[in-house]
Structures are given as C-alpha cells and as structure tokens.
Amino acid sequence: MKNIVLFGGGNIAQAIVEGLIYAGHQKNNIFYVDRNPKNKKILKKLKIRSLKENTSLKIDLFILAVKPKDALSAYQEILKDYKNPKIVSLVAGIKSKKYLEMNKNIKFLRAMPNTSSRFNLGITALYNCTFSRSDFKKIVMLFKKIGIIIEVEKESKLDNFTGMIGSGPAYFFYLLKSYEKKLIPLCDGDKNKANYVMVNLVKGIGMSVENNKDLNKLIAAVASKKGTTEAGLESFKSNNLDKVFEEGISAAIRRSKEISNEF
C-alpha cells in the first residue's frame, strides 16, 4: 500500500496522517482530497499533497473519511475517476451493502479507528468485505502502524465498536472536564499547571491498567475503609454514575445503527 489518499481530511484523517508519518510512512506517498480551507491548510502544513494536483498517480488505497451525509457522494466521486479502487471506509453507520450496490467490483472494507491513532495508540476495528486475504493483510499492517487492530467477523458489531472505540476518547475527555473544573482552582487558576497534573494522572492510570488488569484491585489499592476515596466512590454509586455512563455508550451504539437507516 504505497500511495494512500485520505478522502476527507478532517479530524480522524489528520490523526491517521500524523500517526502514519510518525510511524515512518513516507509523506510523499500520502495524499488528500478536501474542500474545507481550514483542513486543507493543516494538511499542507503536514506536507501532504492534494490529489487534485497529482491526478495521474496510481493510487493503492482510498481511505474514506467524510461525515456520513457526504459519504455516498464522495464514494461516487472516487468511482468516477478511478477504475476498481480499493477503499477503506471509516464512516460510521453506513453499511457496506450501500457502497457495493453501486459497484460490486470494488475492493471494500470498513474500519473504525479513533483519534489516539495520532500517537500510534489507536484502536481500529476492521471488517473485511471484499478485499482479498493478501490485501487485507496489508491493510492490517497499515493500521498496526498507528495502534492495535481488532478484526470483526460480523458487520453489525461495527456499530458497537463505533460507540465504544470511535467515540471512546470523547467520553473520557468529558469526564476529565469535571475533574479539570475542580482542579484549576486548586492550581491557583493556572490552566497549564492543571493540565500538567491531569496528563500525569491519565498516563499513570494507563500504566496501572497495563500492570494490573483487575480494576477492582486497582480501586481497592486506592480506597481505604471510611477514607476519602471511599466517600467519593459511594457518592458516585448512589448517583448511579455507572448506569449513566453505560447508558451513554448504549446511546452512541444506537445512533450508529440509526445512521445506517438514514442513508
């Protein structure tokens, strides 16, 4: 997979491009198609070239990274200009059937990554539709450059991965906002200092989970009987924080399934 095109150069495309560059993928072999001036500027700064200015190139892979509402027209644009393209769709919700109905001969698969790909800490769920086994292996290798991959056997499971993995980082950013709100006054209003503290907290949590997979044991190691942590955790429990959090994830999964019925 030498020449890659990100069709749609927004949030997730930028995370993937940065991750690939960091992993050593040649910038020269990454191209974009985008209409948004702000995103174009960011991609140019990353020294990624526009496909529109390099139309005669052989393209090995298109990565479709536009919002669901734009996906089918963007897909048609690719089909119009390229014969039998290989396409990886990152688009939430829209099922492979929709794309393959328009052209049965294309090599197509769906992937659900997340923005941590930027730091090569991504998680990408992959569902192969029509790629040959050997080409699928190449896609696996490509996404392994920017994190870990999970191969999904059933397409319906991609909706769950969309709600859990694609959206996943945002849930924790959201929770961290409450933490930050309490932390900033403690840091004398210094947002940078609060950020510095939060970064270490989150990195430490990551290392702890890597070290000890039992979350109950990790909690027990912090909370002592009648101590401060226990008081905090009891309050979370009595306010059903776990249920609220789980319902949030379920809502995202439901939305992913709804999107497939909208297009």
Residues that bind ligand NAP (CB under 6 A): 8-13, 33-36, 39, 65-68, 70, 73-74, 77, 90-92, 112-115, 166
With respect to ligand NAP, which residue has the nearer C-beta, 115 or 128?
A: 115
Distance from C-alpha of 63 to C-alpha of 261, rounded to nearest angstrom: 22
CB of 89 to ligand NAP, least distance (A): 8
Considering beta carbons, is residue 169 or 187 the nearer one to ligand NAP? 169
Query: Residue 92 CB, nearest distance to ligand NAP (Å)?
Result: 3
Shortest distance in whole angstroms from residue 233 CB to ligand NAP: 30
- Name residue 25's beta-bridge partners: none
Shortest distance in whole angstroms from residue 112 CB to ligand NAP: 6
DSSP-derived secondary structure letter, 114: -
Residue 145 burial by Cβ neighbours in a 10 Å radius (0-12, 13-18, 19+): middle
Q: Which residue is nearest to ligand NAP (CB)?
A: 10
N- to C-terminal Cα separation, the chain: 30
Q: Give whichever of 56 and 73 is closer to ligand NAP, judged by the CB atom.
A: 73
Smallest gap from Cβ 237 to ligand NAP, in A, equals 30
Contact criterion met (CB below 8 Å) for 263 and 72: yes
Minimum distance, C-beta of residue 200 to ligand NAP, in the bound complex (Å)? 24
Nearer to ligand NAP by Cβ, of 68 and 248: the residue is: 68
Nearer to ligand NAP, 106 or 164 (CB): 164
For residue 179, give every residue at least 6 positions away whose Cβ sits within 8 Å of its Cβ, in sequence order, or none: 198, 201
User: What are the two backbone dihedrals, phi and then psi, of residue 7, each rounded to the nearest 5 degrees?
Assistant: -90, 100
Calculate the CA 252 to chain-centre distance. 14
